[in-house]
Amino acid sequence: MAKFNRRVWTMAAVMLVLALWVVSAPGAQEDAPKLPTVDEVNSHLDRLYRSKSAESEMTMTIKREGQERRLSVRGFSEGEDKGLFVITAPAREAGTATLRADEGLWNYAPRADRLMRVPSGMLSEDWMGSHLTNDDLVRESRYEDDFDVELSWGERDGERVLEASMVPKEGVPVTYSRILYTLDAEEWTPMEAVYFDGEEAVRTITFSEVKEVDGRPIPHRVEVVPADAPEEFTRMEYEDLRFDVPIDDAIFTQQGMRKEARKLEERS
């Protein structure tokens, strides 16, 4: 089976990366262009999304149970496995941080000056009260190991799109039975991701407001909507996004997370 790495947006800098295993789908429309080869996909997407590091600033709006709140979040990432997110506003939550590193996922509570490792049993819990989970922060770097993916052409609003249907490999313990990604047919920019439990859709992520960053088409607005509460959402809007910026590797340690969180808390 062929394999390629594809980088897709889901949340701040840590969601830059999504690796897929791909096999071309049979039965494409007769008048549709030939599906891209794995080498073509690799080359194209590497040019668009490859980066050694990234830094971002975003506003996260969370609407849940009739209540709406906004968080300002600064994110740092390095490679596929290191990420740090620090809340910078509102003041009462400033300095709260989450670190993803080789040794796992950690949260930092500034008021108690306390570091807490997130156990595997809590990966399905909400992240910062949003519609994202702790598992969303750690799972994306393992998609190439957990899922098989089939590509096919589809149609959206009269326009051709590329669809990637992701099905977990046999024996892999994952939350979703299938993930269906819809991408722009030309640049393969993500448009939508629908997550399924059995045959039932359980959440939808939409990607919009595509803007160029260093010549790359990047969605600057990402919205997560749960199927069982369609009036709720978590919306992420990026105010600043930079690739291949120098980042001190020390911030991706427990001590470095505490120091960076404290620094950003004092600035808030």
Query: pLDDT per residue over 234-260, tens digit each?
Result: 999 999 999 999 999 999 999 999 999
Give one DSSP letter per residue of 233-260, joined into a string.
EEEEEEEEEEES----GGGGSHHHHHHH
pLDDT at residue 259, rounded to an integer: 93
pLDDT at residue 231, rounded to an integer: 98
Confidence of residue 7 (pLDDT cuts 50, 70, 90): very low
- Answer yes or no: are the C-beta atoms of 162 and 153 closer than 8 Å: yes
Q: What does the pLDDT look like over 81-94, one tens digit per residue?
A: 899 999 999 999 99
Task: Check whether 117 has a pLDDT greater than 90.
Answer: yes
Give the 3-state secondary structure of residue 78.
strand
Peptide bond into 26 cis (omega under 30): no
Look up residue 164 and give its two tokens: 């990637």
Q: How many residues does the chain have?
A: 268
Q: What does the pLDDT look like over 61-83, one tens digit per residue?
A: 999 999 999 999 999 999 878 99
Confidence of residue 151 (pLDDT cuts 50, 70, 90): confident
- Answer yes or no: are the C-beta atoms of 183 and 159 closer than 8 Å: no
Query: What is the tally of structural domains in the chain?
Result: 1
Domain of 209 in residue numbering reads as 3-267
* CA dist., res. 253 & res. 233, Å (int): 31
Closest by CA to 10, choosing from 235, 176, 164, is 235
User: Which residues are CB-neighbours of 223 under 8 A, at least 6 positions away?
Assistant: 205, 206, 208, 233, 234, 235, 236
Task: Check whether 19 has a pLDDT greater than 80.
Answer: no
Residue 255 identity (one-letter amino acid): Q
Task: Check whether 145 has a pLDDT greater than 70.
Answer: no
pTM of the predicted model over 0.85: no
Q: What does the pLDDT look like over 180-215, one tens digit per residue?
A: 989 888 888 889 999 999 999 999 999 999 999 988
Closest by CA to 17, choosing from 30, 5, 34, 28, is 5
Task: Check whether 46 has a pLDDT greater than 80.
Answer: no
Confidence of residue 99 (pLDDT cuts 50, 70, 90): very high
262 vs 51, higher pLDDT? 262
Q: What is the CATH number for 141?
A: 2.50.20.10
H or E stretch at 44: helix 38-49
